[in-house]
Structure 1
């Protein structure tokens, strides 16, 4: 009887264990699938947003050109990539410019009156919102997504009027094929869906590698105002039949070896903990990732709903320049250094996380904005550094914060308030710390300097942008070609060397005359000024330059100068018969 009892008990235990193992395998696979859905869903979201940004770039060029684009084909050529089928302009809703035009001539239509595109195009126009259509079949083969961005400009009376659309046609699946190929490589079935339009909430399939999904892991994307959805599941299903058979029949012969079963359970539990850690922590900084931070923040607030706490958002100023000048490996070093500073300064009870890229988040419990203000200011102003080829380089951060429950009672709204304060700091020159206050709008982005980073380095010529104020000018931006001309290693060195003042670029004995000449030209009614003088370089030497400036009005910054610099000696060498400019002495 004892062997029978042992056998029966062993069979029962083995049956229970096999069942639990199956549940655990499904749970682990679902956890991993959810993590992959989040990871690749965010990548797909970024890929689509990058495609949409092409229309924003054209929009900015139109704004700067007062509704005109000079040499559209050249600009469009620079914007094209493997995943872009074409770039188009539609003044007053009529497509007139298409790059590349070959094979796309049939696309020159009146979007507002077209039977297939009119309703959604008029919606985009009336609501001033970006819309996408598709997938649509392309005559060149394959499918595509059509992005239309309505453009509103101001006339000479300051009244907004509808200019038309900037349009980009994105190839599907090329626009996000790195992510979908990775899912296929990892043996996942996937299906990417989107709302048919903002007028039709029914989901349509954009891309898929299978016909049927069984209880898929889902990640919801937001592209503009449209809702997208990524569904994935393991190609072999949620269970692993081979593993289950091996466990059962192997366990049947080892039913008396209870120690072996204990080891298996331990290994499974250890694997579960490991997967949970991977799902919640950022691999680079070891702080919570966005998913883990959000989950912990909700628990933290709900545990003591009446207790005040402060949410903080911060990012690295000009982080793209660090990556561009020193490489992504050293950009990672800067992020690791910043994470270590956060861990040193803030108490162990603080919730620290990395949202992604160079953006970090903090939740400080049991405190108010007034109580934590000095500590946040100290953290913002404390020098932060990273090493590059044996030398130490510094970088700065911008920081915004908001208080629960005074500013918001929901975690997501609280973070949006901190985000609004962060970008208000950006609007005031970066490297600062600001508390949220009523009136700040979340999502505001500083246009000067940020949008130009990706364009300016490829435009011929050295230029800067600065606030046009006789008494208190401030340089906002300088491209790399100007930094090279003036002998500066990077933008931070340039800002430090000039104290962000345009007049500090002019030889001392010429400053008054140059500034007087510029303002005389502007005050005479011209939007442009031309002046020749000696430009001061970082090493104290001077080079003669021709300065061509244009003054524009900005809603947020008042009058702003866009200034192009040309090497005077090069001009004289190549165009001596065309130019006869006088030096200002």
Structure 2
């Protein structure tokens, strides 16, 4: 806290923006991490499913291969003869089998079922489309799954060709021919493909057409295009196979991510609102603290704020000199009573601003209450501060009321620590003694404390205008006697009672601030002539008497004796101080 102001930095209101920014970054990082983890999890599951259903497809293909193996075993056991081929083949038929064939010497001779498959009876070894692969199969004694092909009679198939070798009488192996199964695709994989689809996967099954090429061709696939799929590779029937799998919805769990984003946004907004609330509460706390330490009208410290700063200063500066000052406005109550509290507030505000401008920045300046101000000048002696204090106390001061400038003055007392006070906390007490010494000497000045100033002298200042007016045994009022600007300035309690008014504001409203409204219209000319005669006589301090009927608020009149004295005032010009005595009262008590 510097001087008398409590400053507040608005940069802390950027904190909600930082919370929003950091929260958004954290939410992005969490979302990204969850997305990556979820993607890894989905890929792991997809890889497991690719292996599972890849093995299932291998099992499907092995079912077809087993048909050729069974035929091979039959040929071996019967020395290359197959009796009742149609009956045997019929028993081995399945939904996914297009036909079962045998090709002695590489020439297809038997096909089941024969109907619709007549075109399949060809010389495999010398066929321009199949010959190379068939010869490779025979030369290497390896089963080949060739294809896929599109048949002339319609449909896509894979051809499983198993070369069969028998032994002659000498036990020497010789090529007998081939057992074959023509498999319908995608029928053979239907069960595995349906299971993949039901589990929410898209797939693509590819293979090399034959062992003689590395080029893959699609055997079967789902309808949608695959993006960055996982794959399971295997070798079967002399060819390389690849099953590619990906989730139908892709590698992102959009539902989970949307939930995380919505929850994250809700949390971020909650944190932002909470941060704003905390800042608002903190600002309110600081506001109330400022209100508890500062004077709302002048912006200076109040006595609590002054004491707090003084304590802070004392903690580290107990050995340093300082000067305590106490000052107030001369005749401030009179300014308030005559010109109103609004003008009085302007005087206080003007004085507080001049204090801030006149004294060093590190000074502790406060409004002690009412029109009294207190100051601590740090790190200086009374002798060093005296020129500055004297200049401030003697400076010309004025306020404006209804376009007219009026001068006012201040009285100021000051004391030094440690020269006058053993403790810094007592320094204002000694400054207060010096201030009242100024008052005793006629106000408008500044005095440094001296030990010969005594508190007993203050009893002379113990009476204020309110003390006198409230306890004076008689009614009186004060008014400015200017022809162009007649104005009642004050009335005491007994005057209010005499006119039937409840308070001074009621009295001013009743009289409209003018003495003429207190006089019976028939008596007004006589009274005014007496007043103006007294004014024009130029006899300052001259007393005069006039008798007239005084207006009462209830509409009646009382005959009174007006005993007035005219005085020339520095502030108001010609002023009448008037005692009013009820004639009925005089008659009752002094009839003789």
- TM-score bin (small chain): 0.3 to 0.5
The alignment's TM-score, normalised by the length of structure 1, stands at 0.43
Q: Which entry has the higher C-alpha Rg, 1 or 2?
A: 2
